[in-house]
Chain A
Amino acid sequence: MTPPRAPSWWRIYRGPLVLLAVVLVAPWLPWGRFGYLVPLLQLAGIYTLLATSLTLLLGMAGQISLGHAGFFAVGAYTAGVAATVWHWPSGVAALAAVLAAGLVALLCGGMVLRLRGHLLALATLCLGVILYELILKSSLTGGAAGLYDLPEWRVPGRLGAGPAGGFYLVWGAAWLALAWLAHLSASPAGRALRAVRDDEAAAAALGVDVFVLKLKAFVASAMLAGVAGVLYAFVHSPSYLGPEEFGLTTSVLLVMMAVLGGLNSPWGGLVGALAVMALREGITLVADQCGFSGAARIEQLVYGLILILLLTRAPQGLVPLWRRVCCRAGDS
């Protein structure tokens, strides 16, 4: 064997390039009567961003967060409040929102990241609940009533009016996050994160500043969730921003997406988010076709069962499963 080189640019970036092509053509496909799926895919882009932020934190650095919807909320509400209550320009509001998510993570991470395992899970869960309650109880955020008439972001020019208007913005951000994670994963910093995940004491003995690195990963992850929040507020749902979307259920759903997609691949968040969204939509569609009216009631049930089945059958997630299937197909 010859001495190995750094992974080539092509090897790191071919995935992101393919994804970019898909994103560019997706809104223009002949969707026909499935046109309603395009906004749904746009929401999937926001969830991809969120799940990817957990792939970074949980998959690479090995630190769980059961409160990530809280950072999503900080992003969305800082943007919303700054734009509608304080009348900041939306660009400045967005920037402030992402920084706020990072700042909250920096302050809280300093406290909770000294904890491990169950304790970290509990502490982050509490953090998420506290952030949710703050938003619900505050008068600034409109409480349960929410905020109305936020600035709406679209792609400038003629494109903005079409289906791609918001889609390109959301998926552009998701794409940047995924490409960045693919790069980070192959870099020495990604290696150090995985070292921390596998054995903190051994990583420290090799010169890795364990706590500082964990904190940076936490802040970066929260800022990604903050970006998702801004996109949710200004692109996906600018007419109304309410607290429903930011509770514990969402936090758990995000962990589910990241784990289901596969924690060992930078693509896990994308695959997990798309799979969960597709599953949800698929169940409704099938129920409608069968003329079954109680779909909403059994949806959660079927959805939960399928997820349990997937997680027990493929605990490593869908990305490795997909690779296994492809290899087998290639062999025969």
Chain B
Amino acid sequence: MTAFLQIEEARRRFGGVLALDSVSLELAAGELTALIGPNGAGKTTLFNLVAGALAPTAGRVLFQGRPVTGAAAACRQGIARTFQNVRLFGGMTVLENVLVGMGGHGFWAGALPWPAGHRAETRRRRAAYFLLERFGLDAYAERQAAGLPFGVQRVAEIARALAAGPKLLLLDEPAAGLNRTETRQLELLLRQIHREGVTLLLVEHDMPLVMSLARRVVVLDCGRIIADGTPDVVRHDSRVRAAYLGGDAHG
């Protein structure tokens, strides 16, 4: 059987820097996995490969047996993501941000005023609004994204990613910059998303969050996977302690 997500000996080089060195990783559908590692370990680079934003220098990424060829293609295959530094469309409202995730972008199809297009748009707006309501963001629906509180932007970005209806959701440090209450809410939100059948892979420095949320933890250091197992196993792994928890600890 083909794996849900399969990364085969992926390597990625930036000039002289080898950001990822022969990383192989398999994810099954329905997993909730955390990817941890010190700064510069290559976590974001790995996300970029999986999401199709970067091509691997060598190796390949297969999602449900098919190679990932580009960012837009990855989205259509069912991979959505958030960014380490929140990247909402600043000039648009929160509702419009979510609507971009709902598709229907065809230029020529949108170029003429068909009644069917109008009905589809109303459907999309309903769905987007209910998504915002579920995330407690309905009050911000008509507000411009730039200038909203950071915590709201974080959650809005997750809502936008979910609007694309992904099977796999990649979250790059979703708790960074959130306070304790917001982190607690985020945890509940992620559990709920996971229960609804979305496979989650998250990069996170907040160790209590990682340990309580993830069933599996993968540790990356200097572009290599140095540990992979349950939170308890990983926590007591000596190499992990040396590379990460013991040395330059983050949380």
Q: Which A residues contact B (CB, under 8 angstroms)?
A: 1, 3-6, 9, 12, 180, 183-184, 187-192, 194-195, 197-199, 201-210, 213, 216-217, 220, 264
Contact = CB atoms under 8 A, between A and B. Distances in A.
Given A199-B87, A206-B75, A210-B72, A216 B103 contact: no
B89 A202 contact: yes
B205 interface: no
Contacts of B71: 201, 204-205
A300 B99 CA distance: 45
B99 A180 contact: no
Contacts of A1: 138, 141
Contacts of B104: 188-189
Interface string B80-112: 110100011111100110011111111111111
Interface of B: 51, 53, 70-72, 74-76, 80-81, 83, 87-92, 95-96, 99-113, 117-119, 121-122, 124-126, 129-130, 138, 141, 160-161, 163-164
A4 B141 contact: yes
Nearest to A179: B113
Contacts of B141: 1, 4
Given A183-B113, A207-B76, A216 B105 contact: no
A189 B95 CA distance: 15
Given A184-B110, A207-B72, A210-B72, A189 B129 contact: no
A9 B72 CA distance: 31
A189 B80 contact: no
A227 to B, nearest CB: 15
A194 B122 contact: no
Which one of B87, B89, B91 has the highest number of Cβ atoms from chain A below 10 Å of its Cβ?
Answer: B89
Given A4-B95, A207-B72, A216-B108, A188 B121 contact: yes
A198 B90 contact: yes
Contacts of A207: 72, 75-76, 101, 103, 105, 164
B92 A191 contact: yes
Given A205-B71, A210-B72, A189 B100 contact: no
B192 to A, nearest CB: 21
Contact of B110 (A12, A190, A210): A190
Contact of B91 (A194, A203, A205, A210): A194
